[in-house]
Amino acid sequence: MGEFKVHRVRFFDYMPSGIRALAFNQDTERMAVARMDGSVEVFHCSDRFFQEKIIPGREQCGIEGLSWVGERLFSAGLNGGITEYDLTNQKVKYTIDAYGGPIWTITGNQQGTHLAVGCEDGTVKLFEVNEDQIQFERNLDRQKSRIISLSWHPSGSKIAAGMMDMIQVFNVETGHSIHRMLADRGAGTSRSKECVVWSVVYLSDGTIITGDSVGMVKLWDDQTGTLIKSHNVTKCDVLALSVSQNEDSLVAGTSEGIVVQFQFVSMVLEKDDKEWVRTRTFRNHTHDIRAVAEITTAVVSGGMDAQLVVRPLLDKIEVRSAASALRKIHFPHRRLVSCARKSGLMLFQYPGHLELWRLGESEGKGTPGSSLFVKRNPEKLLQLKVKGEDHIRCSAVSPCGGWIVYSTASTLRLYRLHCDNNNISITKISKLPKVLSSANQLCFSSDSSHLFSASAQSSVHIASLSQSGCKFVGTLKPKSGSHQAIHLLAASEDGKWLASANSDHEVHIYNLQTQKAHCTVPVYSSAVTAMGIHPATNCLFMMHADQQMFEYSIEQKQYTDWSRTVQRKGLHRFWVERDTPCLNVMFNPQNPSHVILHDMYMLCIIDQSLPLPDDKTQFYNQLTLKSLTEEQRKSQSHAFKVCKTFKDRPLHLYVCGLSEEVCFIKRLQIVPC
């Protein structure tokens, strides 16, 4: 496996922020997630829930609702504005004010023509969705209390609104209220408290289902405006409801962290009189569930504990496979850590600031497995707060440790770092080329002489760095293809090649000497989650969300023989069934046949010189190998060497490759406030 010096980095206490809203787009199979810090993420449901797009948030921008209209995504929040997102370039397209005070909910009709928002002042405002913008159309009858939740009837002619202590049904044509249904307050002391109708769902058969702060899921008839049935789900609040596409299943998320499923089941078999019956209970959350969504094959829920839980519904799944397993997504599928390999610096990216740390140093060489004496403790050199309200989208530290760069949605800032022993000074490079105004992904060349900045239209800008400053060199543009934003960049060690991957799964390779597009890797159906260019052979190694791996020879413009062998023989079942994507591809400088991969829970070294395991061989064979003699070990070992624990503790990590060191970045337990 090779010997490494291991740094245990326990000072990156990144805290993901809680999930506030979910919106599922049936046609594109995308799940949009809004977090408490205002960021919006898009997950691809059929591609193993890979986090395709991240739109960073802003300060003071609490999103309360998300809604898809066709392939357009809208959000509304307590700042009173409705925001449309530019998903191609992963940024906010525009924000317009609804002039109704804080907005509590936003929902689009199924026809895709209108958006309805519920405001603090008691109005339901209808917006017409035009080609390029949305336009205010009119208000429905104004109510006395705030509108907490909204749901369109699938025909688009009626809207049900959940408010304080009541539910109103509006006719969209006239704008008048048809029914007013009172929600009961809780018994005992909570009688004095208002009953908040947190969530409402309008079914096509005219049933209105509400979840409220008393803990009830109530079913109402919209013809008569009467209560049909009520289910006491919990002692506290029912915060979220979601109905499946064919309206035979409903999930309710509660503030106890429980998701309760209701099913529309015929009470007498093979007869049509169906009723909503409480069936299953899912307990995967530790804190309040703020949003649930029932997609075709699974229940997705998210809440204050910041994890997105995908709970498969086994009765809807044809074949049980790794793609349909229970999935918990805690952390972004992006690298938030970059490191300066030559100087031992690490840059941690938080939403609102950056931290630069110098790793500790140790004396001499120890035997494998022993811990070394720490000569110098790790040290926090710098904390850099972001100017403005936007959160950081991407950041990088140059391999030499002399440059730091970060970008928000609006600005890109480059700093020169002077570091002589204990004196650290930082100077902002003031005159940046105009094209470097904002970046989707940032990367330095290996000799730290160039900065690559991925920007709009899938293009990459090159800037050369020198003592005097930063100078624009040129722009790399793909020959053809989509204009989706680039989310990964990889530069080769010799400074000759640059690879970029965008969210349409395209990987372009550019020749940096000619500044021309060199070639395009054949498009694979799954997203690229990590890639790297081998320093010796200049082969591009790519990891995909479905755990497949490819090695592409840049010079020969074709897949390498090893990659073809992998594809022909297939990967081991255990490898494919892992549920987090690989986040980093590194290479062992001492042994060119070693490729180092890691995901959230494990570190894997692939030895390309060893045979590939087939489904019959033992995949996790480290312990078995240890007990064997040298010769037996040779016959038993295979290409995948997986390390899941370090010092008997499970890894929970980002791994960064230094020259001959590996940093395990251990994270703190996530405890939401």
Phi then psi for residue 458, to 5 deg, are: 60, 20
128-187 residues near another protein, rule: CB under 8 A? none
> Which C-beta is closer to another protein: that of 266 or that of 636?
266
End-to-end CA distance of the chain: 41
Stretch that binds another protein, among 184-192, 265-273, 503-511, 656-664 (CB under 8 A): 265-273
Using the minimum distance from each CB to another protein, give the nearer residue, 278 or 353.
278
Between residues 26 and 279, which has the closer beta carbon with respect to another protein? 279
Q: Which of 27, 132, 173, 270 binds another protein (CB under 8 A)?
A: 270
Angular region, 501: left φ>0, alpha ψ -120 to 50, beta rest: beta
Q: How far is the CB of 421 from another protein (least distance, A)?
A: 53
3-state SS, residue 315: helix
CA atoms of 284 and 279, how far apart (whole Å): 16
Smaller CB separation from another protein, 307 or 621: 307
Q: Which stretch binds another protein (CB under 8 A): 275-283, 417-425, 524-532, 646-654?
A: 275-283
Gyration radius from the chain CA atoms: 27
Tell me the C-alpha distance between 495 and 143, whole Å. Answer: 64
Strand partners, 148: none
Query: Based on CB atoms, which residue is closest to another protein, 311 or 641?
Result: 311
- Among the listed ranges 60-68, 264-272, 431-439, 572-580, the one in contact with another protein (CB under 8 A) is 264-272
Instruction: Pull the structure tokens for residue 358.
Output: 């110098």
Restricted to residues 20-79, the positions that interact with another protein (CB under 8 A) are none
Kindly state whether residue 267 participates in binding another protein, applying the rule CB under 8 A.
yes
Residue linked to tokens 């599928």 = 333
Q: Using CB under 8 A as the criterion, what x/- string covers residues 212-251 for binding another protein? A: -----------------xxxx-------------------
**Of 143 and 261, CB closest to another protein:** 261
CB atoms within 10 A of CB 448: 17
Evaluate whether 73 touches 32 at the Cβ level (below 8 Å).
Answer: yes
CB of 207 to another protein, least distance (A): 16
Closest separation in Å from C-beta 192 to another protein: 24
User: Tokens 């073809």 appear where?
Assistant: 564
Helix (H) or strand (E) holding 605: strand 603-607
Residue choice 182, 265, 523, 536 for contact with another protein (CB under 8 A): 265
Closest CB to another protein among residues 277, 519: 277
Q: Which long-range contacts (CB under 8 A, 24 or more apart) does 168-172 make?
A: 168/143, 169/208, 169/222, 169/225, 170/124, 170/140, 170/141, 172/114, 172/126, 172/140
Name which of residues 312 to 371 contact another protein (CB under 8 A): 314-315
Sign of CA dihedral 430, 434, 435, 440: positive
User: How far is it, in rounded angstroms, from Cα 576 to Cα 557?
Assistant: 27
Query: In terms of CB distance, is 114 or 231 closer to another protein?
Result: 231
Q: Which is nearer to another protein, 279 or 449 (CB)?
A: 279
Least distance in angstroms from the C-beta of 230 to another protein: 8
Cα 529 to Cα 158: distance, rounded to the nearest angstrom: 43
Nearer to another protein, 131 or 270 (CB): 270
Helix/strand/coil (H, E, C) string of 522-551? Answer: CCCCCCEEEEEECCCCCEEEEEECCCCEEE
Query: Token pair for residue 234?
Result: 């919990």
Judged by beta carbon, residue 86 or residue 221, the one nearer another protein is 221
Which residues, 6 or more positions from 655, have their beta carbon under 8 angstroms from its beta carbon?
Answer: 584, 586, 596, 598, 603, 662, 663, 664, 665
Closest CB to another protein among 174 and 232?
232
> Given the rule CB under 8 A, which of 130-138, 269-277, 293-301, 470-478 is the region that contacts another protein?
269-277
Q: How far is the CB of 269 from another protein (least distance, A)?
A: 4
- Beta bridge mates, 337: 348
CA 32, 287, 326 angle in degrees (round to 5)? 55
Q: How far is the CB of 249 from another protein (least distance, A)?
A: 9
Rounded to a whole number of angstroms, the minimum distance from the CB of residue 181 to another protein is 20
Q: Tell me how far, at minimum, the Cβ of 274 lies from another protein, in Å.
A: 10
Beta-bridge partners for 544: 528
Total residues contacting another protein (rule CB under 8 A)? Answer: 18
Minimum distance from CB of 289 to another protein (Å)? 18
Q: Which residues bind another protein (CB under 8 A)?
A: 229-232, 263, 265-270, 277-281, 314-315
